[in-house]
Amino acid sequence: MSPDPTSVTQLTPLLFLERSAAVFPDKEAIVYGDQRLDYRQFADAVTRMARALQASGIGPGDRVAFLMPNLPELLMAHFAVPLLGAILVAINIRLSAPEIEYILDHSLSSLLVADPTLLESLVDFKPPPAVKETIVLGDGFEEFLGRGSTEPLPWRVDDEHRPISINYTSGTTGRPKGVQYTHRGAYLNALAELIHSHHHAGSVYLWTLPMFHCNGWCTTWAITAIGGTNVCLRAVDPALVWDLIATEGVTHLNAAPTVLISLANHPSAQRFDRRFVVTTAGAPPSPTLIGQMSDLGAEVVHVYGLTETYGPYTVCEPQSGWEQGAERIKLMARQGVAYIGADPIRVVDEDMNDVARDGKTMGEVVMRGNNVMSGYYNDPEATARAFRGGWFHSGDLAVWHPDGYIELRDRQKDIIISGGENISTIEVEQAIASHPAVMECAVVAMPHDHWGERPKAFVVLKPGEQVEGGELIDHVRGRLAKFKAPDEVDIIEALPKTSTGKIQKYVLREQVWAGTEKRIN
């Protein structure tokens, strides 16, 4: 006899907190400086925040934006907002005022909760009309919480396919796209994170990865599922990171390769007798970096994915037959195979045929499954393009090895990944082109030892105009987040173009990446 469908519990990360508050009520859940909360207090704080949002007019389907670093309040928001059936919009704290305003306007966020330090740094920031109220951490936030109560709310949803969050990522159109995560997808990907990053009930997780980035690769929900401890960190300070690993007994952290480079080369770096797990993504880590972190006692887990895939989609799963030493480390630098819960990854040609598994033939990486977004918010055309042929098209080019592992070689999309952050080359080009002396320009990624990739601009000036590259860099910094400005600007006579006038960016990339094996770093 088949079960009654109405009796089946819908999958949602809210169930993680319900369970841990019951099973581990007195266990440490959140650590931030001198602040320490157990799971009973964590659940109560989430309920109070949800009730305060409800008293402020927030209900099912409403968008609630948070602009803050890795603070306990942002971790709580990952449960409090969906507890009302509302949708969390966690905003990249490195963006400029116009970029943040665009996200708030596009998402139609009804309420903004922000860190005061971040707000003070934003020049001429004006929330759009959709934002009915801005709540600032501090006295204003305490007043806001006072609107709520601890009267329980059900840790349930009636539709697991309902959006739980919207994560904005740069796109090739130059405008950020809102990537929609569902309760079901977040639930399943959080469990996959626990498996592939080797978590357990004794996990002490250090928040070096931004919670706003792919919702912290779903680790915002995963650590709670396992009853682990979240050690919050306002900003990544290598000396403090090493200190917390020692004093708090940190067992796990996630970080882009650029963060690991800063840790491995810092004077405070030390080798521990116990192993700790470092999961890295955002750019392919070099074999050298993997070796450095391993020498410091870290077990490096290499994963790959995009914002559209809830963060990681593949993992470079170690095999017992791999030799030790340099050859093993080289194999570990590949992007690997699909996560548990995801469809097997494919590398395809333009006709959606699988390329040869020869480690040489390049094709595009495509994915589908539980840990792929439900679509771009309010952008059906972009969603249809992304899912042509029934698979999500990553825009990344890779080779497929005989053992089924993929390895990235280049990028189709005009996206630069710098220190784990996406930079749209078109967005940077538009900022450069707004300078009155510029006739046309093209921006490509160039390799960088620390950040992995950085933007480089090639600019053609209008006849009779003169301008230095530094002036153009400052011009971009005045319009976009500073990390998006190019590191180098070459003033040239003409851009390489096809017969139809299309700029041949691959020619520029070949010039910039000459002498390297890959066109991605």
Q: What is the CATH number of the domain that holds 497?
A: 3.30.300.30
Give the per-residue pLDDT at 257: 82
Residue type at position 374? S
In a domain, residue 419? The reply is yes
In a domain, residue 437? The reply is yes
Q: What is the C-alpha to C-alpha distance for residues 345 and 407, in angstroms, rounded to an integer?
A: 12
Average pLDDT over residues 389-401: 93
Tell me what the pLDDT averaged over the chain comes to: 91
The candidate with the shortest Cα–Cα distance to 313, out of 321, 305, 302, is: 305
178 membership: H or E segment, kind and range: strand 177-182
Give the per-residue pLDDT at 284: 67
In a domain, residue 139? The reply is no
Given a cut of 80, whether residue 1 has pLDDT beyond it is no
DSSP state of 70: B
Strand 229-231 vs strand 252-255: parallel, antiparallel, or unpaired?
Answer: unpaired
If one counts the domains in the chain, the total is 1
Give the per-residue pLDDT at 500: 41
139: number of Cβ within 10 Å: 9
**Residue 361 in tokens:** 């033939």
* Beta bridge pairs of residue 229: 204
Give the per-residue pLDDT at 431: 86
Domain with 484 in it: 415-512
Given a cut of 50, whether residue 323 has pLDDT beyond it is yes
Given a cut of 80, whether residue 374 has pLDDT beyond it is yes
Assign 3-state DSSP to the chain and report helix, strand, coil percentages, each to 5: 30, 25, 40
In a domain, residue 251? The reply is no
226 membership: H or E segment, kind and range: helix 219-226
Q: Output the CA torsion sign for 270, 271, 273, 279.
A: positive
Q: What are phi and psi of 407, to 5 degrees?
A: -145, 120
In a domain, residue 499? The reply is yes
Express each pLDDT in 234-265 by its tens digit. Answer: 999 999 999 999 999 999 999 988 788 889 88
In a domain, residue 301? The reply is no
> Over pLDDT 90: what percentage of the chain?
71
Least confident interval from 25-39, 145-159, 339-353, 403-417: 403-417
In a domain, residue 474? The reply is yes
- Strands laid side by side in the 375-376 sheet: 133-136, 111-114, 63-67, 87-90, 163-169, 177-182, 375-376
pLDDT tier at 424, thresholds 50, 70, 90: confident
In a domain, residue 277? The reply is no
Express each pLDDT in 33-82 by its tens digit. Answer: 999 999 999 999 999 999 999 999 999 999 999 999 999 999 999 999 99
3-state secondary structure of 439: strand
pLDDT tier at 92, thresholds 50, 70, 90: very high
Q: Which of 216-220, 269-273, 325-329 has the highest mean pLDDT?
A: 216-220
Give the per-residue pLDDT at 84: 97
430: number of Cβ within 10 Å: 17
Give the per-residue pLDDT at 174: 60
What is the value of pTM for the model shown?
A: 0.84
Rg (CA), the chain: 23
Q: Output the CA torsion sign for 93, 476, 127, 63.
A: negative
Average pLDDT over residues 396-422: 85
Q: Output the CA torsion sign for 323, 329, 333, 335.
A: positive
Give Cα 65 distance to the centre of its chain.
16
Residue type at position 96? S
Express each pLDDT in 153-180 by its tens digit. Answer: 999 999 999 999 999 986 444 688 999 9
Longest distance between any two alpha carbons in the chain, whole Å: 82
